[in-house]
Amino acid sequence: MPTTTEDIATSDIAYLSHGARALMLRLFTPAGAGPFPLVIDLHPGAWTSSDRSACYPRDEALARAGIAAAAVDFRHAADGYPSSLVDVNYAVRWLKARAPDLRLDPGRVALCGQSSGGHLAMLAAMRPADPRYASVPLAAGAPPVDAAVRCVALLWPVINPLSRYRNALRARASANPPGWVGDLPENHDTYWKTEAAMAEGNPTLALERGEAVATPPAVWIQGRPDPVHDYRDPDSALALNEPERFAARYRKAGGAIEIVRVEQAARSQADTFAPLARFFARHLV
């Protein structure tokens, strides 16, 4: 049943089942008749942990700004790549197909994600018609919708899983391994299995391989300093850290992307609400 918190409504909805396993989303809907633009939000967790609840503060803030938001659970961890992309692609199409019943505008849909969720958001936005990702059909009689989105927002994304994996391994092998390394390599191994998969499901390398991908308007919100997401890959031909490297490749491919820097110590979710709302207001409202 929907619940109301002041001027927004929330509903927990099962959007897809894999056998007996139901995947849930929480929809945050502004007050009013709509139809509202929609942001589909993907949680962090190094592809191995966390759930949709990590998105709730951000999505509630978006709903208060007049933008509906759906915090989505998806398969991860040992389910492996590309299971998460299959679920995200389906969620985009399912929400578009159900838009009239949910007071949503299927023509104004965006993706958003934090850390590993940012990687998934960008890859899903770049490859909306990938047959592997779109492999689960909607129910018979559903309207003909696709998984393309109007824009995409990234919060310190793991934009290059392969370089992040190698960066963590190098740091672990150093004389004084930093605490941020933790179990990052093991998390990559659990989800990706191989470096070849990390290279294939990789937004940066997809651009550098010259793949024909979608390039919707994007924003990248990045804390500084952040050695987990903002570092230079020594294997890159560009003398740029990963945010600037990706942005350069994205622009070359025809996309528009802005990098917004925030202080790492102040990188709470609340500090990102204003730039996110401004971005979505430009491209969705």
Indicate the average pLDDT of the chain.
95
- Mind listing the pLDDT tens digit for each residue in 28-60? 999 999 999 999 999 999 999 999 999 999 999
Range of weakest confidence among 31-45, 87-101, 257-271: 257-271
| 143-149 mean pLDDT | 97
Adjacency order of strands within the sheet including 104-114: 3-5, 8-18, 21-30, 68-72, 36-42, 104-114, 151-155, 218-224, 257-263
| 94-98 mean pLDDT | 98
pLDDT on residue 67:
97
| 119-130 mean pLDDT | 98
pLDDT on residue 269:
73
Residue 75 has pLDDT above 50, yes or no: yes
Residue 179 has pLDDT above 50, yes or no: yes
* Angle in degrees, 0-180, between the axes of helices 56-64 and 269-283, rounded to the nearest 10: 50
| 167-180 mean pLDDT | 96
Range of weakest confidence among 28-32, 264-268, 276-280: 264-268
Assigned architecture for domain 3-283: 3-Layer(aba) Sandwich (3.40)
Residue 4 has pLDDT above 80, yes or no: no
CA max distance for the chain: 61
Query: How far is the C-alpha of 126 from the C-alpha of 206, rounded, in Å?
Result: 9
280 phi and psi angles, rounded to 5 deg: -70, -30
| 203-230 mean pLDDT | 97
Query: How far is the C-alpha of 53 from the C-alpha of 27, rounded, in Å?
Result: 11
CA atoms within 13 A on the CB side of 78: 0
Determine what percent of the chain is predicted with pLDDT higher than 90.
93
pLDDT on residue 6:
60
For the chain, the domains span: 3-283
